[in-house]
Amino acid sequence: MAEPRAVNRRRLLGGGAAVAGAAGIGWGAASSSTRAVTTARDPMATVPFHGPHQAGIATAPPDHAAFVALDLRPGATRADVIGVLKIWTDDAARLTQGGPALGDTEPELARRPSRLTVTVGLGPKVFGVAGVQARRPSWLAPLPPFTIDRLEPAWCDGDLVLQVCADEPTAVAHAVRVLCKGVASLVTVRWVQRGFRNAEPGASPRNLMGQVDGTVNIAPGTADFDRLVWDDGAAQPWLRGGTSLVLRRIAMTLDTWDEIDRDGRELTVGRTLDTGAPLTGTKESDDPDFAAVDRYGIPVIPPSSHIARAHHTSEGERFLRRGYNYDDAPIPGHTSNSGLLFAAFQRDVAAQYLPVQKRLAEFDALNVWTVPVGSAVFVILPGVRTPGDYLGQSLFEG
């Protein structure tokens, strides 16, 4: 525990278990850091539903989230897809504003929206079913396989997705229930993944490995954000204002992570555990200096470290991270079942997300303790600008 940092750093740099593996988690790059500010928890607070973009992306992340993937029932038609989207539009417009859904059987559970957002996306298959194959974004497909993957089909893919977020889990539970049962004749639930995040004041939240996670991110309201997250309609005019979601379920092998001491952990990630500052800095918001070396000539931030590998090599390799921790009931024989719901939003999966994922899959010191067990890619529909319109309307009627 008391080994000097340089010794540990050499051990890490010299290979061995700490660098032998190959999963991207808490992808931290550098420069122009910004982060979501911790918001007060007001159970009556609402997030606007209507607008050029769906809520739940530029929205500061609430404490709780559920990601729900659904599959169209066999024989589903274009009309069925439109039907689902119309129902969800109406439900989401009401629930997010603190009102009950139409025919809500538990209207009292809708009274405390606590910043509820509902964000809707489509998987690849829907475009064929709905006869709009030519409008499918080129990047909308499962990610290519990576050697680090240990994917379980139960956590992969899906025809439709709902991201439901709120500060109170009761609001999430009620919205998920309403949204799923209202379309139960047309779709089946494929998987549900629930998560939480609790940020310290003025800091990014911590993952269950204890690391400050999500430091480097792109800030809503900036030109970077608008350019990197929102589709501009150049390739697919119907998609203007939409984006994409990559959801990776990343299991943490906490039992072996416990075997590595604090210095080793910090060198693995490239940040201090205490504040999340890069090893070359003193504050979480400091930019990492990947060129800095110590008196032995050894890089202060190991080139094998997570933040060094995750660092974007061009401005285009950036995306919005909006992840949640998960902590499910352990499978028999295990002590815990924890990890990260790594949610990434970007205009173009191929151009922005894949290069970083490939680089991390190829090598990232953190890969020893992180295992991707789920993976899914969805196109996130543009927002509903006008009450009465429905999610996806530009895809079908534009």
The catalytic site residues sit at 213
Residues 6+ apart with CB under 8 A from 314: none
Task: Check residue 329 for interaction with a second copy (CB under 8 A).
Answer: yes
Q: Which of 96, 193, 304, 346 binds a second copy (CB under 8 A)?
A: 193
Task: Check residue 111 for interaction with a second copy (CB under 8 A).
Answer: yes
In sign, the C-alpha dihedral spanning 253, 255, 259, 262 is positive
In DSSP terms, 188 is beta-bridged to: 71
Distances (CA, A) of 367 to 2, 257, 334: 25, 11, 20
Task: Check residue 39 for interaction with a second copy (CB under 8 A).
Answer: no
Q: Which of 2, 291, 295, 335 binds a second copy (CB under 8 A)?
A: 335
Task: Check residue 221 for interaction with a second copy (CB under 8 A).
Answer: no
- Dihedral over alpha carbons 296, 297, 301, 306 (to 10 degrees): -110
Distances (CA, A) of 143 to 7, 146, 289: 38, 9, 31
Task: Check residue 294 for interaction with a second copy (CB under 8 A).
Answer: no
Distances (CA, A) of 47 to 50, 88, 188: 9, 16, 28
Task: Check residue 141 for interaction with a second copy (CB under 8 A).
Answer: no
* Residue with smaller CB distance to a second copy, 200 or 232: 200
**Span from 115-123, 229-237, 250-258, 380-388 in contact with a second copy (CB under 8 A):** 250-258
Task: Check residue 60 for interaction with a second copy (CB under 8 A).
Answer: no
Distances (CA, A) of 321 to 32, 36, 66, 124, 392: 15, 11, 16, 22, 24
Pair 113, 166: CB distance under 8 Å: yes
Task: Check residue 109 for interaction with a second copy (CB under 8 A).
Answer: yes
Task: Check residue 43 for interaction with a second copy (CB under 8 A).
Answer: yes
Token pair, residue 97, equals 């504003």
Smallest gap from Cβ 106 to a second copy, in A, equals 3
The residue ranges that bind a second copy (CB under 8 A) are: 41, 43, 63-64, 105-109, 111-112, 114, 168-174, 176-177, 180-181, 184, 188-189, 191-194, 196-198, 200, 205-206, 208-210, 254-255, 257-258, 273-274, 325, 327-330, 333-336, 338
